[in-house]
Amino acid sequence: MARTIEVAMPKMRTLAVVVGLLITTTVSAADKNGEWFTMQLLNGRGWVNLTDETRQLYLTGLINGLRWAWLEQGKVTSKLWENIYIPRVSLSETRKGLDLFYADPANVNVPVIFALEIFKMRLDGKPQAEIDKQTEEGRKFAHDVIEDRDRIKQ
């Protein structure tokens, strides 16, 4: 059994990398105006323009990529992993949670990775004030990054 896992892990890593690259290439090609990303991270504007199937694949690639990084590097990604990994919710339910988050136009520039943290906070029963604070921090982060990008372009 252990040998099977050792052989399967490199294949799964390769598959995760290939799927991630395909999705990133597809999303980047569709993003004509550079509005689907905030600091090179897919944001809500990009999220709502993906098909349901592509959203599901994006989440699968993101979670598998973080899981792989966490297994390989431990402490480097453990905090991020703890903040977004939701074992008791399906990918479909996670997708719906993100759809709900991005239904608010004020959240369109917030990167998906931040939205996942906020969704997990809701599931964990965190106080609404804490969730609101995190949401505002995500919006401010996105605003500042976009403002800096626009200033550099001038």
pLDDT at residue 150, rounded to an integer: 73
Beta-carbon contacts of residue 99 (< 8 Å; ≥ 6 apart)? 47, 48
pLDDT score, position 151: 74
Tokens of 113: 């990775």
State pLDDT tens for residues 93-139: 999 999 999 999 999 999 998 999 999 999 999 999 999 999 999 99
The Cα–Cα gap between 119 and 94 comes to: 8
Write the pLDDT tens digit of every residue in 36-83.
988 888 999 999 999 999 999 999 888 888 777 766 665 555 666 677
d(CA 100, CA 89): 15
Identify the pLDDT of residue 24: 55
